Amino acid sequence: MTITDTAAFDVFDTEPLGKWSEPALFNVDRMRLQAYARATNDTNQKHLDGDIASPVFNVVPAFQVIAPLTLNMPPAAKQMMGLHGEQDFRFHRPIEADMKLVTKAIPVGITPRSTGSLITVRGETTLEDGTPIVDQYVTVFIRTAIAEKQFGEQPPRREYVREGEPVAEVTQAFDIDQTFRYMGASGDVMPLHSDNTIARENGLPGIILHGNCTFAFATRVVLDAVAGGETARLKRLAIRFSKWVTPFDTITTRVYRAGIAPSGNTQYSFETVLPDGTPCLADGLVEVEE
């Protein structure tokens, strides 16, 4: 493909870029927090009791706003070709049971790659009085849909640094019904996670785990290793989803020291790999308040 080969490009709907969505309300139900913890095999008692949300649960209030934006911007024929590309949380405080949350989102960019394009959306979740809870950047990779050029912003950049040997290395396995439990707890009912036929029609070996389910497993390792299981100490948590994972896979997460962040927080990097060493979660970054 050359830059003059315009027939090879896909037409994206760029009209939503730079425009905030309408705010969406989300009532935090304790049972929903408990269900999410169970669906991700969480072991943190505060998460299991539903007192506070596990870190990756922060995608759930934003999903009802961000998902339609990323679904409708690609060409109609390729709207089912999306996979979670990157996730970048900036935490202000944990979500707690009985909170009433407000989320709005704004698409900020479309970035072409050699095998598809990235759609990047920024979400902001607050309490009803405007008290910030979490800001997040969500990037969705649309396979085979290649935009003509860069529109708007690229995904946020971060430096991946490793200092010495891992401070933690943990291998985890999934349950055979993991995707179905996660669908119910998260509200993400994309058929790639539940229907083998549809998954194979879209170039996958069968149903795959939600990227955020894999991310939640890895985050358990990170949270225990660098923050003593204290969710409130996490201030940033970011990852690139680099390979799909099936319910039959095992994953190994390694956590490394990475110096001090510009914010002054202690910084760690991490990655999660499949048994053959292929990263499924890459360029992981976490900032911890001491």
Range in 5-14, 52-61, 281-290 the model is least confident about: 5-14
Does the residue 169 lie in any domain?
yes
- Quote the percentage of the chain above a pLDDT of 90: 79
Task: Summarize pLDDT for 98-127 with one digit per residue, the tens.
Answer: 999 999 999 999 999 999 999 999 999 999
Domain span at residue 113 reads 6-288
Q: Give the chain's domain count.
A: 1
- Whether 182 has a pLDDT exceeding 70, the answer reads yes
Task: Summarize pLDDT for 3-55 with one digit per residue, the tens.
Answer: 334 457 999 999 999 999 999 999 999 999 999 999 999 999 999 999 999 99
pLDDT at 76: 87
**CATH assignment at residue 236:** 3.10.129.10
Does the residue 129 lie in any domain?
yes
Does the residue 1 lie in any domain?
no
Task: Summarize pLDDT for 229-258 with one digit per residue, the tens.
Answer: 999 999 999 999 999 999 999 999 999 999
pTM, full prediction: 0.91
Does the residue 85 lie in any domain?
yes
H helices of the chain, in order, are: 30-39, 45-48, 59-72, 178-186, 196-201, 211-227
Distance CA 91, CA 213 (A): 19
Check if the beta carbon of residue 169 is closer than 8 Å to that of residue 177. Answer: no
pLDDT at 3: 38
